[in-house]
Chain A
Amino acid sequence: MCATCGCDSNASSSIQHIGEHNHPHDHSHSHGKTIVAVEKDILHENNLLAQRNRGYFDAKNILALNLVSSPGSGKTSLLERTLTDMKGEFPFYVIEGDQQTTRDADRIHATGTKVAQINTGKGCHLDAHMILHALQGMKPVENAVLFIENVGNLVCPAMFDLGEKERVVIISVTEGDDKPIKYPDMFHTSTLCIINKVDLLPYVPFSLDKVKEYARQVNPALEFIELSCTSGEGLPGWYQWLKAKVPVTETV
């Protein structure tokens, strides 16, 4: 589509001079100029840094989880419960991503957990570079569990690999059960889906079967855990999942 006038063009290639109004034409180059074949992924830089983070986690036997969801699904509440209930079982660390304030980091800090807050300002997601710098200040010990709470946004964080082991998408029953097909990228790239606030199920028109059906259309391999941070229902299943994911240290 032409961005200037909104016309639809069937050509698969389109050319556009910013500031002028040009319609698509055949791809040609004038003489006296050099063509440089770049052939580079646009996310190349982020993906390199993500792999660097991943290598760091592997070397230190750290389980890094990227928690993604829309705002208000209960990511921070889930972390507060988890860090309190599982205190002492593993060394825990948290990286909090928000546009503004240290409110979430303050809540995590209150549980006695080491936490770093990243404020993205106008940014809508965390990227691998931010995680790299957060880790430099945090210096997590070996065999730890690191939770990375992404910016509340069900769209943008899906594109950015942080170097995590698993991506966990959280949806709450107050959000509508068709979220997985309305925002498919996030569900496509996650391995676990936590359905939060199940204590509110009697009061909202949300179908657990429907949400799972929709999510499996996007990602047939997705696992589900239903829980409520308020009532505590289903939390043991989440703790078991976590324990099973922590890499066992090999003693030679």
Chain B
Amino acid sequence: MHELSIVMSILDIAEKESAKNNAVQIDEIELEIGELSGIDMPAFDFAWQQAVKATKLEGAARIVTHIPGEGLCMDCEAVFPMHQLYKPCPVCSHHFISILKGKELRVKSLVIN
């Protein structure tokens, strides 16, 4: 359940950013969550529902952009969709892979009132 810590960090960022802009309410928050970031979305949703109560994010629309994983094979330089950390390069079957995309875990933007 590290998802709760992640949600608490999002709350912290949202509260700080909205305070900087003298916002009383957050209408919308946009997040980027990568496929390989280690976030289990049902656990994340569960933690979210509990954690946002009585905060500026309660009632805010949450937009999540899921970023698909992408790997670069360090042996043959093939770029390919990466869904698991343990799958080999689909071209040369080697495992020495660099993750290009999918580790993202970001707060993109807020819409405040």
Contact = CB atoms under 8 A, between A and B. Distances in A.
A230 interface: no
Chain B, interface SS category: mixed
B96 A36 contact: no
Interface in B34-86: 38, 41-42, 45, 48-49, 52, 58-66, 68, 84-86
A19 B59 contact: yes
Contacts of A217: 86-88, 95
A55 interface: no
Contacts of B65: 12-13
Interface in A1-59: 1, 3, 12-19, 22, 27, 29, 33-46
A184 B84 contact: yes
A132 B45 CA distance: 30
Interface in A164-190: 180-181, 184-185, 188
A1 B105 contact: no
Contact of A42 (B13, B21, B112): B13
Interface residues of B, number: 50
Contacts of B10: 42
A18 B41 CA distance: 14
A236 B107 CA distance: 47
A180 B68 CA distance: 22
A15 B36 CA distance: 21
B107 to A, nearest CB: 5
B2 A36 contact: no
A143 to B, nearest CB: 33
Given A45-B9, A127-B5, A16 B38 contact: no
A188 B69 CA distance: 15
Nearest to A24: B63
26 contacts: A3-B42, A13-B64, A14-B63, A15-B63, A19-B59, A27-B30, A29-B111, A33-B111, A34-B21, A36-B18, A36-B21, A37-B108, A41-B105, A42-B6, A42-B107, A44-B9, A45-B12, A46-B9, A124-B2, A156-B1, A159-B2, A160-B5, A216-B95, A217-B88, A217-B95, A218-B86
Interface of B: 1-2, 5-6, 9-10, 12-14, 17-18, 21, 23, 27-28, 30-31, 38, 41-42, 45, 48-49, 52, 58-66, 68, 84-88, 95-96, 105-113
Interface of A: 1, 3, 12-19, 22, 27, 29, 33-46, 123-125, 127, 155-156, 158-160, 180-181, 184-185, 188, 214, 216-218, 220
Q: A-B pairs with the 5 shortest C-beta distances?
A: A156-B2, A3-B45, A184-B85, A217-B86, A181-B86
